[in-house]
Structure 1
């Protein structure tokens, strides 16, 4: 009895098929690397207030010079974290955005923006070390600086700042400014823009307030 041997040739992978497989593998690796790069970029996203608007504010400070101290606030505001609150579900919990941060601390950014805007109003902005007798001293403290969500589709940036003006050892006046600015998007970028706008509005409020205060002539 003879054994029948199957002489049907084994199919060979064509050169074209190999090339296609290599191309698919290369494309997949490239997409994977691109995805990793995108994730890394998202983790490094930083925001600031952008450039100060050009032009002088509508109100002008009535003082020739004023000492503007560094803005103070809670320890949470002395870091680069960006905080938000879900007021519609859990307003008592402040959450930090995982993939977005400020380029500097909110205390530093608000300090710099207010100094810039007051200088644009015509007053010479001095530091505490440059103070001389009779020059008014402006002290500022932040009570709130948060991206607040009123619902899943509406949010705003809120800045609550308390300003105190001293001349000599006398408190001239103290006032709290509370400004809310609507966010144009429900994310960290929208919150950053809203808080920048709220800060500029508060700066204008502070300048207008200074213009109403009875100060002694130097």
Structure 2
């Protein structure tokens, strides 16, 4: 009988170790599921990576102006079927930088295919391009169907000795269906919409 006690104690010790290990695994899984995911637009389109020599006039690209609602890193959505006036953030998703900067970066890559694009203070350009980001969110038409919506107002002006001359202004609106009704779906839809937006602005600037 005296030999049984150590074995019982050993079984209890092993059971305690197993319980502790399961608790640690559970904590690790919980932390992983609750971790904030950070997104960007991914690599530049192939044609931007293979850009040739610049052939058009140098353009000064200003950082987009935004409202306070869009001046952050949150991935935002609207429930159009319930309360379209309220922007809501996903709790576990963030952009790597404010959307205005992501759009500016992508636009610089696209416009840089045929011209030199500089930021204010980096150099002197013949034209100025100013942007106002008015909407950048995932819009839910129903609980299961949504789309990415980007709305950007663009103003083109020409520099001269006396200042600037307004040449044109246009609002661009791009919608892209979201593949899934969640944050990853929002990111994919808004990325594609932003790429389409950059192409549209490039085509607009190329008009005579």
Q: Give the alignment's TM-score, normalised by structure 2.
A: 0.85
Q: Does 1:103 align with 2:96?
A: yes
Aligned partners of 1:20, 1:136: CA distance in 2, in Å? 74
Task: Give the deviation of 1:107 after TM superposition.
Answer: 1.3
Corresponding residue number in structure 1 for 2:42: 50
**8 A Cα contact 2:76 2:87, kept in partner:** yes
Corresponding residue number in structure 2 for 1:173: 168
**Number of residue pairs aligned between Structure 1 and Structure 2:** 197
**8 A Cα contact 1:69 1:140, kept in partner:** yes
* Higher deviation after alignment, 43-52 or 171-180: 43-52
Of 185, 188, 193, 1:190 maps to 185
Task: Give the deviation of 1:22 after TM superposition.
Answer: 2.8
Of 183, 194, 203, 1:199 maps to 194
Aligned partners of 2:77, 2:193: CA distance in 1, in Å? 15
Task: Give the deviation of 1:20 after TM superposition.
Answer: 5.5
Q: Does 1:91 align with 2:95?
A: no
Question: What is the aligned-residue RMSD (CA, Å)?
Answer: 2.4
Specify the SS of the correspondent of 1:92: strand
1:169-200 CA distances to partner (integer Å, 9 max, x unpaired)? 21111111100111111111110111111100
Specify the SS of the correspondent of 1:124: strand
Q: In the superposition, relative to structure 1, how do residues 56 and 79 fare at CA in structure 2: closer, same or farther (>3 Å)?
A: closer
- Structure 2 unaligned residues grouped into runs of 5+: none
Higher strand share: 2
Specify the SS of the correspondent of 2:188: helix
1:80-116 CA distances to partner (integer Å, 9 max, x unpaired)? 1121101111111111111111110111111111111
Corresponding residue number in structure 2 for 1:145: 136
Q: Does 1:212 align with 2:207?
A: yes
Q: In the superposition, relative to structure 1, how do residues 110 and 31 fare at CA in structure 2: closer, same or farther (>3 Å)?
A: same
1:42-78 CA distances to partner (integer Å, 9 max, x unpaired)? 3321111111111159xx9973311111111112222
Runs (4+) off by over 2 Å: 11-24, 30-33, 60-64
Q: Does 1:156 align with 2:147?
A: yes
Specify the SS of the correspondent of 1:191: helix
Task: Give the deviation of 1:153 after TM superposition.
Answer: 1.1
Aligned partners of 2:79, 2:25: CA distance in 1, in Å? 35
**8 A Cα contact 1:62 1:211, kept in partner:** no
1:130-160 CA distances to partner (integer Å, 9 max, x unpaired)? 453x701111111101111111111111100
Of 117, 120, 127, 1:125 maps to 117
